[in-house]
Structure 1
Amino acid sequence: MQIANRHAVSFHYTLTDDQGTVIDSSEGREPLAYIHGEGHIVVGLEKALEGHSVGDAFKVDVKPEEGYGIRHDEMVQVVPREAFPGVEDLQPGMQFQGRNDQGSINVTVTSVVGNEVTIDANHPLAGQTLHFDVKITGVREATEEELQHGHVHGEGGHHH
């Protein structure tokens, strides 16, 4: 069976950056499972998986536009230290969820200098080409229950 919309798909992957540094991997874990065509993984990877079958192994490079997007400089801001009440040891790399006019937003602290904190609302992988090494481990029709819930259920049925 080939990967197509409304199929439950599972695959192992290793994600690296341009220098070959591993960013994420399913090694030592269960394969990643998703419902194809529902937008649960980055667009470029989903497009590359389309039409493949169990056992297929390949590499794919996903450009920022089809990954986590391009970087937007306007999403980097300097805010006062007081914007983080109750956080004693504020450090670069810390992530917080805040609110803006569009709703909730995730930000990463990139620097702390005196009373000024630089935050970045870009996805941490925005602007980067994603290099995936994948191996398809499962392809089947998604069940009606999985389609209603929007995710793949575990071996033997519902596992929440």
Structure 2
Amino acid sequence: MQVADNTVVQFNYTLKSEDGQVLDTNAGNTPLAYLHGHNGMMEGLEKALTGKEEGESFSVTLTPEEGYGERKDDMIQRVPVKHLQGAKKWKAGMMATVHTEQGERQVTVAKVGKFMADVDMNHPLAGLTLNFDLEVVSVRAATEEELAHGHAHGEGGHHH
């Protein structure tokens, strides 16, 4: 079966920077699962996976526009330090989680004072060209429940 809209895809990945440094991987863990064609995956990855079959391995390079977007200089915000989650003591460069009107968001601490911190709301990988090594582990038709919920269930997917 080929990867197409309304299929559940399980895959393994290794994400590398332009210079070949491994930034993230799920090697040795459960494959990721997503419902293809339902905006549950980065658009550039979904496009690259379309038409692939179970067992296929390949590499793809995504521009910033196809990945996490370009960095935006106006994405620095000042927030109370007490709203940063993930550590007790903060330093510039650390990753934190903050609650926003759109839900939880990962941010990078740019500058920290006693009570307030400047945080960069850009995705940490925004502005980077990303190189993915991908392996399609399985492809199957989505269930009616998955289609109704808009995401994959089961191993590597969403658990209710």
- TM-score scaled by length of structure 2: 0.84
Q: Which runs of 5+ in 2 are unaligned?
A: none
Q: Distance in 1 between matches of 2:56 and 2:31?
A: 14
DSSP-derived class of the 2:5 partner: coil
Q: Distance in 2 between matches of 1:98 and 1:19?
A: 33
Q: Which moved more, 1:90-99 or 1:27-36?
A: 90-99
Matching of residues 103-122 of structure 1 within 5 Å: 103-104=102-103, 106=105, 107-112=107-112, 117-122=117-122
Aligned-residue CA RMSD (Å) = 2.4
Alignment of 1:1-40 (within 5 A): 1-40=1-40
The answer as to whether partners of 1:105 and 1:121 remain within 8 angstroms in 2 is: no
Structure 1: unaligned runs, 5 residues or longer? none
Output aligned runs, 1:51-90, within 5 Å: 51-77=51-77, 79=78, 83-85=80-82, 89-90=89-90
Output the CA distance in 1 between the equivalents of 2:89 and 2:59: 41
Aligned to 2:96: 95
Distance 1:103 1:147, change over 3 A: closer
Between the aligned partners of 2:2 and 2:30, the Cα distance in structure 1 is 21
Could you say which residue in structure 1 is the equivalent of 2:47?
47
Query: Are the equivalent residues in 1 in contact too, given 2:15–2:130 (CA < 8 A)?
Result: yes
Percent identity of paired positions between Structure 1 and Structure 2: 46
Q: Distance in 1 between matches of 2:18 and 2:154?
A: 34
Q: Distance in 2 between matches of 1:139 and 1:18?
A: 29
Q: TM-score, structure 1 length as denominator?
A: 0.84
Change (3 A) 1:110 1:86: closer
How many residue pairs align between the two structures? 153
Any conservation in 2 of the 1:35–1:150 contact (CA below 8 Å)?
A: yes
SS at match of 2:28: coil
> Runs ≥4 in structure 1, deviation > 4 angstroms?
102-105, 113-116
Judge which range, 111-120 or 130-139, deviates more.
111-120
1:132 alignment partner, SS class: strand
User: Structure 1 residues 85 and 140 mapped into 2: Cα distance closer, same or farther (>3 Å)?
Assistant: closer
Q: Which residue matches 2:142?
A: 142
